[in-house]
Structure 1
Amino acid sequence: MLLKGIIEKNFKYFFFFFSYLKYKIFVLILLSLLVGLLDGFGLALFIPLFQVAVDDSSQSTNPELGELDFLLDFMNSVGFNLNVGNILIFMTTLFLIKGIFKFFDSYYKVSLQIFFVKKLRFKMLDGMEDVSYQNFVGMDAGRIQNTLSAEVYKVTASFISYFNTLQYAVLLLVYMGLAFISNWQFAILVSIGGFISNVFFKMLFRRTEVASINISNKGHVFQSFLIQAVQHFKYLKATSYFRNYKQKLTKQVDEIENLQKRIGLYNSLLNGLREPIILIIVVLVILIQVSLLGGGLASILLSLMFFYRALNYVISVQSSWQTFISQFGGIVSSTEIIQMFDEGVEINDGRNGMGPLDYIFLDKVGFGFKDGLQILENVDLEIQKNQTIAFVGPSGSGKTTLVNLIVGLFNPNQGKIYINGQERNQLNILELRSKVGYITQEPVIFNDSIFNNVTFWLPKTQENLERFWKAIEMANLTDFVRSLKGQEDMVLGDNGVKASGGQKQRISIARELFKEVEIIVFDEATSALDSDSEKVIQENINSLQGKYTIILIAHRLSTIKSVDKIYLIDNGRIKASGDFDQLFHSDSNFRRMVQLQEF
């Protein structure tokens, strides 16, 4: 267990990337190893090259390369005499082969980066798709947006930095190994000095890691505040509250930038002190080696050449690792958001098909959030095919929650829901939702063309165009769309800014009709509209009655006079039901609600 804990602590980043890349990591390590060995062998040949160039007589006796003599033995075995020309040819060949492997090494790393980032983003998007709405409503929207938009770029940067570090570390080990082979005493002394200096660098890395995580957390809060500022901009501007609210945003910006400044300080210390410290270590080691240990200058020179190469990679390892740690918060945020989505995943074990909708039945259904109050209790109701029903009642009575239960966004914690006689948890919930159209108080309009808003980005085939215009006609939008310069290709702007409230609402209706749904929910669909727009939408609803199963949530009781059945809901319970006239004459609460509103 102790060994496992040590491995997990020191290789936690490696295991994170390994969970996505698997064996591909080892291919990258192997390529780096080959690049380092070929480069080292080529550098080693500089010693015999200089010896042969300075003293022609050395051609008759092999120069000394210690444990690397096999390079010279290989040249002799293939018939290459040890002269300047042959050594240069052999060196050039080694460096050319190294260049080929370096190309594959660099390109493979880019391919891995693209593969990793795509896989991570797809995993987050899949997690967001699979999370239940019931769990989603309790999540932090700012955190989700910040992770999916900003933090994922930190993960990309951290990937590049981590694998740069990994490759530099492999090359560092290669050159350290060659240095040990050349002169092991010199190599040990330099390694001890490097270990001592690393204590200082490790302290900087740890502080950078903490600051990076704090930056990500502050970013989540800032994004949450920013989303709210955009959503409530009209109110904040109209009431002059924006100046006060801005203080919350500026405070978060100050805290984030102060943390960035702290990371910049650590990076500056690392960059400024790293090379002088390493140089001091090397000078001291050479003095000890020559003065006290009596090492040969030739072996020291060869070892020093490898160490010079290695020390360059020490600098590279520390720089890239510092960069990785500074972006580490992105990995933390991404793993946490994936875990959060996984914990909130929607269970969809139902395998049965439901076929065309005939009826929905709720049997003593209740609902409440975890650690919250019970919102609905003991609800019994039945909805028949192509029936139009309405839920009315005071705000907070549970109308929207009841609709969310019916269409499968929430699961009851009491009672059961039946569809066509089958328990809903036995049905494929995605099939149920494919039959549902949802019209909200604030129309869902995307910054794209009317065609794409209605068809949800289906290809513009002749068949889809015909379906589009049919849906547009049923939503009473034909004259509006035909009058536009680009007609169906007209881009509506952010949140449909180029269309009126009533037009946006009818575009939402057209989208659901294009989808060929069986159930259409109108959740306060006319409450935000003027009287003329409300009349048009009401005519839309009336024209759809008897063709679709329609569920209305309404505050304006004038919009539900012609529905088949009304359910009066109060404090999470159905208090009364019937058509408009029945309720008006039999229920005093409903009658009082009607009398308080103007018709």
Structure 2
Amino acid sequence: MINGPGRMSPSQIKEQLAASDTTTSEMIRFVFGSVLKRRGLVALNVALLTMMAGLNFVVPQFTKNIIDHALPHSITTELYRNVTLLILTTILLGIITFASTYMMQMLSQRAITELRIKTYQFILKQDYAFFQDTKTGDLMVRLTSDISNLQMLISANTFGIIGNLFTFVGVLCFLFWQNWQLAALVSVTFPILFITIRFFRTRIRESFANVRTAQSKINNQLQATLTEIELIKSYTTEIPETQKFESIANESNTYSLTATKWQAIFQPLVTLINTIGTATVLLFGALLVMNHQMTIGDLVAYLAYVTMLQDPIRSFSMLMNVFQTAQVSYDRIKNILSYTPTITEITQPAPFPLPLSTSIQLHDVNFDYQSGTDYALKNVFLTIPVGQTTALVGRSGSGKSTIVKLLTRLYDCSSGHITFDNIDIKSFALKDLRQNIAVVSQEVTIIDGTIGDNITYGSQPTDVAAIWRAAELADIASFISQLPQQLDTPVGERGIKLSGGQKQRLSIARALLKDAPIVILDEATAALDNESEKAIQHALDNLMVTKTSIVIAHRLSTVHKANQIIVMDEGQVAESGTHDTLLKNKGIYKKLYDAQFE
């Protein structure tokens, strides 16, 4: 797609959608913003995590008491008491863990659902150029996989770090109070762990960024293949398409293996560093036991606390992978949300004039799809009278469909302006403008639903009789009535169960039911045979008696009754007048007309 002044070029959009270097704190504020709206639940969960940290701290004391007191003196009551307390504490710990995990999952799911809906709404609000310049598969990855990766960031495991932090601080203080020499020895491993994490962080994040990009390419290829399957089958390009997919899949595999390699090195390395710390404590602690400076129970408890101290570090290192994956996904989602639409609405829009009383006008309109290229429309002055039919004809690429896109504000003029009853088109809300225009295009869009869903799409709830009347006028009612499910008949994805002519009739019925005051027919009967075209044309003629109609057609035989015929040539208005007048002028229109009947 090519853009004009004020619109983003394809390269600019690609740059905007590229991964950016975002700080972790910014991502956390973004993701946790929804969670923090429910401060009561968050505070309760923090309290539960604090209780979990306290219970985890108590557990090693039961083992110490059994080893140092119950066993040496054969005190069975002490043994039973500590074992019972150990079991009860573990049960209580399990209950609190369940409550905390479930609560955090609930908060996480709500937050991610809100984010997914917000992103979906934001994407739908983007202008036409955005969808022309972005890949469908890539948007799908951002709405599904990328948002799911952010959910991992606010999972119960992530929030468990809060409890682990309490545990870490409390246990470290206790270890220094218990034996500062052993605590100092195990603390030596902390800077080593920090350096290791920093070293691997950048590499893992880069690898995951490449993986996400490759996954988007796979989705784009799958989406393109499935939507172009008829073309692929017709031209027997299964092998080239498979080779293309194989190349993309192998690229994804390479990036995934690279990410796996860094993770595979990282996790054992962290375990090794932690084991060295534990082994150091075990060595010097055992020497202290041999010198009667520490009891066996103290050493066992101390080792348990060292493990508790290392667990937060280990979980943090594992969580780092989640952070890296989430940050890559956040960058991609953030860049979608930072896109600024070029088609904007004013703060206080004017009401659309109903009914229209004078005309629709184009005043010295120029338009180019991309800055620096030839204009698609050049100095166009055009008046479309209200309540009449205006036909736009001309060779392919002459600017006919571009005028339609400007009238519906899929694009804005590069210069000049368009008015409805002398009110600038930019003064209206987009919804108000487009609800009063019904467009039937040659490229029919059928939604994956029933026949009734397709006819009523975009219209207010209506009765069944009105739907059947629209179907009658579109010459498709007899076909529908022969189906077992009639209006409730599924049409399949993209209307695969319908013929081209049936799809076109459905789109015409949809426009008839909408009953908008302005009707645009862009090659609306192109997919129909001559007999069906005549039947539908008669219905459209009856409909357009009270409408302001704009008809684009290559078959000039379908527009000879138009009140006004505009002949476009190379983006300019070359001729205008009635059918008979233009034939007498012996200009471009007569040449086009004669060429169709040679």
Question: TM-score, length-normalised on structure 2?
Answer: 0.85
Q: Tell me, what secondary structure is at the counterpart of 1:438?
A: strand
Deviation at 1:212? 1.0
* Cα root mean square deviation, aligned: 3.2
Contact 2:368–2:376, Cα closer than 8 Å, also in 1: yes
| CA-to-aligned-CA distance 1:79-121 (integer Å, 9 cap, x gap) | xxx9666666766665555444323311122112212221221
SS of the residue 1:444 aligns to: coil
Matched, 1:103 2:98: yes
Moved more, 371-380 or 532-541: 532-541
1:388–1:545 contact (8 Å) kept in structure 2 = yes
SS of 2:463 mapped into structure 1: helix
Look up the match of 1:151: 146
Corresponding residue for residue 12 of structure 2: none
Q: Counterpart of 1:133 in structure 2: which amino acid?
A: Y
Output the amino acid matched with 1:38.
L
**Aligned partner of 1:171: which letter?**
N
Q: What is the alpha-carbon distance in structure 2 between the residues aligned to residue 230 and residue 530 of structure 1? A: 28
* Shift in CA distance, 537/220, structure 1 to aligned 2, threshold 3 Å: farther
SS of the residue 1:569 aligns to: strand
Q: 1:423 — aligned with what?
A: 424
Whole-Å Cα distance in 2 between the matches of residues 491 and 227 of structure 1?
Answer: 22
Mean Cα deviation higher: 258-267 or 13-22: 13-22
Shift of 1:159: 4.4
Q: Using the alignment, how far apart are the partners of 1:278 and 1:547 within structure 2?
A: 82
- Gap change, CA 1:199 and 1:516, over 3 Å in 2: same
Kindly tell me: are residues 169 and 188 of structure 1, through their superposed partners in 2, closer, same or farther at Cα, counting changes over 3 Å? farther
C-alpha displacement of 1:424: 2.1
Tell me: CA distance 1:219–1:535, structure 2 relative to 1, closer, same or farther (3 Å). farther
Q: How does 1:304-343 map to 2 (within 5 A)?
A: 304-326=303-325, 328-340=327-339, 342=340
Query: CA–CA distance in 1 between the matches of 2:81 and 2:284?
Result: 37
Is residue 31 of structure 2 the alignment partner of residue 14 of structure 1? no
User: What SS does the aligned partner of 1:11 have?
Assistant: helix
Mean Cα deviation higher: 382-391 or 198-207: 198-207
What is the alpha-carbon distance in structure 1 between the residues aligned to residue 328 and residue 149 of structure 2? 7
SS in 2 for 1:286: helix
Report the equivalent of 1:553. 552
- Out of 241-250 and 420-429, give the one that drifted further: 241-250
Take 1:394 and 1:307, find their aligned partners in 2: how far apart are those partners?
81
Distance 1:313 1:553 in 2: 68
Distance 1:443 1:311, change over 3 A: same
Measured in 2, the distance between the counterparts of 1:153 and 1:368 equals 40
Give yes or no for the alignment of 1:193 onto 2:210: no
Give me the whole-angstrom Cα distance separating, in 2, the residues matched to 1:344 and 1:296: 74
User: What is the match of residue 130 of structure 1?
Assistant: 125
Give the 3 Å change call, closer, same or farther, for CA 346–29 of structure 1 in structure 2: farther
Contact 1:367 1:414 in 2 (8 A): yes
Instruction: Kindly indicate whether the alpha-carbon contact (under 8 Å) linking 2:563 and 2:578 is maintained by their aligned counterparts in 1.
Output: yes
Contact 1:131/1:346 (<8 A) preserved: no
Partners of 2:200 and 2:405 lie apart in 1 by 51
Deviation of the 1:492 alpha carbon: 0.9
Distance in 1 separating the partners of 2:318 and 2:484? 56
Rounded to whole Å, the distance in 1 between the matches of 2:392 and 2:319 is 61
Written as runs of structure 1 = structure 2, the 5 A alignment for 1:168-317 is 168=161, 170-182=163-175, 183=178, 184-288=180-284, 291=287, 296-297=294-295, 299-317=298-316
Correspondences of 1:191-590 after superposition (within 5 Å): 191-288=187-284, 291=287, 296-297=294-295, 299-326=298-325, 328-340=327-339, 342=340, 344=342, 346-358=344-356, 359-373=359-373, 374-456=375-457, 463-590=462-589
Gap change, CA 1:391 and 1:29, over 3 Å in 2: farther
Whole-Å separation in 2 of the counterparts to 1:587 and 1:153: 64
Distance 1:393 1:565 in 2: 14
Aligned to 1:79: none
Name the residue aligned to 2:13: none
- Structure 1 contact 164–317 (Cα < 8 Å) conserved: no
SS of alignment partner, residue 379 of structure 1: strand
Higher alpha-carbon deviation: 367-376 or 115-124: 367-376
- Contact 2:473/2:536 (<8 A) preserved: no
Note the C-alpha offset of 1:286.
Answer: 3.1
Listed one character per residue, the Cα deviations across residues 247-295 of structure 1 (whole Å, up to 9, x for unaligned) are 3322111101111122222333344444344223211233245548986
Change (3 A) 1:315 1:492: same
How many Å separate the matches in 2 of 1:457 and 1:519? 15
- For the 8 Å contact 2:104–2:159, the answer to whether it is kept is no
CA distance in 1, matches of 2:215, 2:457: 32
Secondary structure of the residue aligned to 1:131 is coil
Q: State which drifts further: 90-99 or 201-210.
A: 90-99
Report if the CA contact (8 A) 1:522-1:553 is conserved. yes
Aligned counterparts of 1:210 and 1:591: Cα–Cα separation in 2: 63
3-state SS of the aligned residue for 1:386? coil
CA 242–328 in structure 1, closer or farther in 2 if over 3 Å, else same: farther
Alignment-mate amino acid for residue 218 of structure 1: A
Corresponding residue number in structure 2 for 1:64: none
Where relative contact order (Cα < 8 A, 6+ residues apart) is larger, the structure is: 2
Q: Is the 8 A contact 1:216 1:333 kept in 2?
A: no
Paired amino acid for 2:485: G
Aligned to 1:545, what secondary structure does the other structure show?
Answer: helix
Of residues 473-482 and 526-535 in structure 1, the stretch that sits farther from structure 2 once superposed is 526-535
Name the CA distance, whole Å, in 1 between partners of 2:82 and 2:280: 33
SS of 1:353's partner is coil
Could you give the per-residue CA deviations for residues 376-405 of structure 1, whole angstroms, max 9, x where no partner exists? 222222223332111111222211111111
Distance 2:262 2:313 in 1: 17
CA contact (8 A) 1:375 1:398 kept: yes
Q: Relative to 1, partners in 2 of residues 1:103 and 1:305: Cα closer, same or farther, differing over 3 Å?
A: same
1:377 and 1:360 map into 2 onto residues whose CA distance is 18
Q: Which amino acid aligns with 1:14?
A: I
CA 582–226 in structure 1, closer or farther in 2 if over 3 Å, else same = farther
1:21 offset after TM fit, Å? Answer: 2.9
- Residues 138 and 216 of structure 2 are in contact (CA less than 8 Å); yes or no, is this contact kept in structure 1? yes
The CA deviation at 1:343 is 5.1
1:488: how far off? 0.7
1:541 to partner: Cα distance: 2.4
- 8 Å Cα contact 2:345/2:428 also seen in 1: no
Displacement of 1:433 in angstroms is 0.7
Q: Which amino acid aligns with 1:512?
A: A
CA distance in 2, matches of 1:264, 1:165: 21
Change (3 A) 1:347 1:219: farther
Q: Secondary structure at the match of 1:546?
A: helix
Q: Distance in 2 between matches of 1:149 and 1:555?
A: 42
Code of the residue aligned with 1:592 in structure 2: it is K
Deviation of residue 354 (structure 1)? 1.6
Tell me whether 432-441 or 165-174 shows the greater mean CA deviation: 165-174
State the 1:214 CA deviation: 0.9
Equivalent-residue separation in structure 2 for 1:543 and 1:284 (angstroms): 93
Provide TM-score, normalisation by structure 1.
0.85
Aligned residues: 566
Deviation at residue 23 of structure 1 after TM alignment: 5.4
Gaps (5+ residues) in structure 1? Answer: 1-7, 60-81
Distance in 1 (alpha carbons) for counterparts of 2:343 and 2:118: 13
